[in-house]
Structure 1
Amino acid sequence: MGRNGEALKRAFVERARQIGFDTIRIAAPDSIPLAPERLKAWLEAGRHASMDWMADTAERRADPRVLWPDVRSVILLGVNYGPTGDPLATLAKKDRGSISIYARNRDYHDVIKGKLKEVAGFLASRASSDVKVFVDTAPVMEKPLAEAAGLGFQGKHTVIVSREFGNWLFLGAIFTTAELPADEPERNHCGSCRRCLDICPTNAFPAPFQLDARRCISYLTIEHKGHIPEELRPGIGNRIFGCDDCLAVCPWNKFAQASREAKLMQRDDLAALPLADLARLDDPAFRTRFSGTPIKRTGRDRFIRNVLIAIGNSGDAALADEAARLLDDPSPLVRAMAVWAVGRLLPREAIASLGAGRFEREEDADVRVEWSRALGIQEEVAA
């Protein structure tokens, strides 16, 4: 490796910073020996929920050399997406929908992948090496690798914490056949702090450094395709896409900076969206409204499911009309949460009036269960 490796690394880091990466570190391919066993235990506990691809790709995910035997260096790069204000401010506005900071602008996959390809091309030409680029879409354990590379440490909430940027980093990885000097790993700096664990509204952390996706609001509102369990809905509050609670309370955010990447800066029109307006979105309007953002990938039905949960949690009877309008929606996912929302906001007589005829006509079993609960028909629920 020697001087050539050091010089190549310096040139690469300089180029990566020019392109827009805020932090760059390098790990050896064999730097996460504990990852396979930890991943296996997490999967065996079922904490990956419905994300079956995690289990399907476990062998490749746990070891970079299985994913690509020729890899000699793993480069971890971070782009800061730090917010300009309080990430949790929207939670107090019960008639508004709260969207995670990361989703309040362009889809980060698109932004970062272009930058990664550019800087990877620079490395390939300089070192006459092969490269592979990854942005959260391949079986790569970016967080353990980032810790091994010294980019940050995995907090008790399992997210990478940077001493320079707090919790607000998007990660990308470049695998290369070039041999580059590895950086020193970062040690954990959580100490006795439990803020991220204690603030979680749905108790998604069974223990420090362990996340159960089945209870995580980010998973439930973004990845989960079906009905959200009834007992978890109240804790979701008005979070309609993702959750920033555990990130926002980390003490290391005192060093955080606002993002310098214009495409990732928070858009004001995505900060606190009126639930009444969102509930009226049909599929074309949804696609147009959220074009180019990560929100679009959930699809209209899942998104409106989330909006209706927020309406049900709002305590605002004026929003009941918006939920009632969706009782006949073509999507069972939407109809079920419309029933749940009116059941939370209206008196029993009004619910009975809305259910008259609808309950009898309903063919979807899950929607019928929601009607049964709302109407107090215990026999139907038990059936």
Structure 2
Amino acid sequence: MLPHLQVVFRKANPRWIYALLLASWLIFCYIKALKGGDFDVYLDAANKLMEGKNIYAPPFAKGLQYYYSVAFALVLSLFLSIPVIGKFLWLVFSTWCIYRSWCIMQFFVEAKGQLTKQHYLIWKIIIIVISARFILYNFLAVQLTLFLLWAALEAVYQSYKGRQFYGGLILGIAINIKLLPLVILPYLLFRSYYVAFFSTIFMVLLLLFAPALWIGTQENYFLLTEWGHIINPISPDNSLKGNKLMHSLAAVIPAYFMESIDGFSGKRQIFDFSPETVKTLIQIIRACLILLTLYFLRWWPFCKAQSKSYIWWELSYILLIVPLIFPHQQKYSFWFMMPCICYLTFQFFRKDNSFSYYAKVIFILLLLLISPVIGRDVLGDHLYDLFQFYKILSLVAFSFIFFLVGYPPPKANAEE
């Protein structure tokens, strides 16, 4: 079947096929831009900023809190008169971020040279299929996650290639907009990318204080203080998340260890703890996940890991825990799992892999649980709601941690 398709593809003009696919995707982006998604919340904050209002206080567009920086709202004010164009351009840029993230992943994983042609093709198909679910989440919501992951990967890639200042500037911009890529900053220091580390801090500080040139020092200070309150991970509002759509530790731990606060009814409690006990438990597990990073950073601090596969293994874990340790994370944030999925799937298909039969079965099951087949249109309302009820997406992310711990790169690669 595959050879037949390849013959058909060769006979067709690839340029026309690519042009048709590109045109279809641009039309899709424009349709999503018309619907707006969460980008309307960002533009609403930009409008409030121009009117001298508190962008972190209600009312909010679509009733959604604005969690991003003052500088981001200021930049978006340029698109207030052309909102659809702004959203369309963002989606086109997000598409490029996907492509660029794929290129960086190919650089570090080097799967093409280590897998057979058949396994390499299957590996790519699995990555594309799993990616499709999280890409659609981000495009439907017109979210920032695709950009944030690219910025994190690009910072490490550029630092590895000797362009640390450039990588640091990109990471600084991303951290200023939303804190998720912050996990890469200590990694840069640990791996002795000092120029990248300090240029990141420089860009973050620059973007924190630059808006004062337009809105005034006092107003900027006030908004930065307000922003600090709403993104504080240990604040009362962020300690326990009761929204059905949430999937971070602040949502999963309460779901299994206290009475339901997310609007679901049914039995899923393992223990019935008080809210204060659950808050403490969340902080303990969050700290454990962060400390576990040291297991993956097996090289001495302030030394560069020479193996590309080890670098990707380290990044896979660091990025995997991002949607777990940060509060207020929804399904689209689990795009940060993709480096881990790329790595583990690659290890799965290696000739010398050490996956046991049961490990292979469990891993395939985990992939199915986060694949596009786990959708409302496929499962129906009842089964789909059960997946949300038990926070299956988050549990799969936790399970991947055990696979990452158990299947590091072969020792031979550590000495490349």
TM range (shorter): under 0.3
Structure with the higher strand share, 1 or 2: 1
Larger Rg: 1
TM-score, normalised relative to structure 2 = 0.23
TM-score, normalised relative to structure 1 = 0.24
Structure with the higher helix share, 1 or 2: 2
Compare relative contact order (CA 8 Å, sep 6+) and give the higher one, 1 or 2.
1
